[in-house]
Structure 1
Amino acid sequence: MTRSLHPLFEAIAAATTEQSLRFRVMDGVSEYFGVQRWGIYLLDADNGLASVDTKGVSATFIEQYQKVGKAVDPVLAYVLKYHAPAHEALVLPPGAWKQCELYKRCCSTYDHEHIMTGPLVGRGQLVGTINFARIGHVPAFDQLDLARLGAVCAHVSARLAELSKPALVPNSVKCRLTPREIQIANLVAKGLTNAEIGAELWITQNSVKQALKRMFRKLEVSARTEMVTKLNDIPWQ
């Protein structure tokens, strides 16, 4: 029986920052697709790489792919055109995969026997991809894999869009809190502990504690719940 994707969907929905979203997907996605190598590639406004998270993929492959593979990648070309997931057997005639330029320039060297790519989209544009590779003598990706990757990409795309929205902080408070303090305030409002906030923002637990003390003074409050209540009670502008 095919394993349900719902635990992964729940992990994606629970991510509170883009970084934690990437980590949750990277840590959980491979077991649902039987892949040995995988990654998330996010793009910047100029369609260049903003961030890359991979497992089992060497830096030399990424460099080689960006240099000579990306321009001749038929799977990526399909994803760019249709904003739908694809694997090599979907876009190439039977037997053509190992004759194509992408395989000869990149994939053959790194034993990428089968590949599949899914789109991450936002505002009608491609904002990134989720990439899978199976190595060695293993089955190819099939239609069920495509459907499941499409579902994962839809959930990740939706969460990315939510996380990219500006934080709803009143203008009157914005002038008192720094951008980092606003991040901390939003995470406190979501119920995270100091340790969890530190992990999300890549700062120490003590840094979170000291930041909260400064925030309490600025907002003239003495506790986390009082701070959250005050922020919620100020009219949005």
Structure 2
Amino acid sequence: MTDALILIVEDEPEIAEILETYFAREGFRVICARDGTTGLAHHQRLRPDLVVLDIKLPGQDGYEVLAAIRRRGETPVIMVTALAEDLDKLQALRIGADDYVVKPFNPLEVVARAGAVLRRTMGRGPDHLLRLGPLTVDPEAYRAVIDAAAGPLPLELTPTEFRILAHMARFPGRAFGRAELVDACLPEGAALDRTVDSHVSNLRRKLAAAEADGMLEAVRGIGYRLDMPHVR
């Protein structure tokens, strides 16, 4: 769970930086937005596992952002706001917030609450599915799907390409050496490093064709890394 992607939508830079630091310290991946419109764009493109959302935001406020997220699906949302009135809290919970934290707050408490929400909500789908942004991998069904603009798009992969993708999806953001990929995904023969390069090249081409360009990257001097597009 600690490799989950957290989207922080907060217009106060100091608060956003504090939250980002504490989430990253616990092993979470983090992306930040300073306004509601940017936050919704990140949510649409990156499919975060949880959103930490302020209410008073430039442009679209937190209530509007929360309502838009709920129209899209069930991404858990924790409201973090200076609005302490019961009416504000009830409105957020009625729209669909999973939790509500009032400023000033202890950042450790926010991270702990996020962990509790994730443990509760990540059980909504099959445990064996591997999800990374627009990519969903089902190791049991040997099926990989990209959530493209026009809808779910299955990837037509060879067995070796699928094994490489599934193996890397279990450890997003980690750099894999070629020899490690050979041992984990090509156990049937004495595969060479250039054989892995060929499989990965084909896999990258298929991901790019399915609107997932940039997820599988070469790491100079090491091998390859699968991660969220443009998120580190």
- What is the TM-score of this pair, normalised by structure 2? 0.28
Give the helix-richer structure, 1 or 2.
Answer: 1
> RCO higher in 1 or 2 (8 Å CA, sep ≥ 6)?
1
Give the strand-richer structure, 1 or 2.
Answer: 2
Q: Radius of gyration: which is bigger?
A: 1
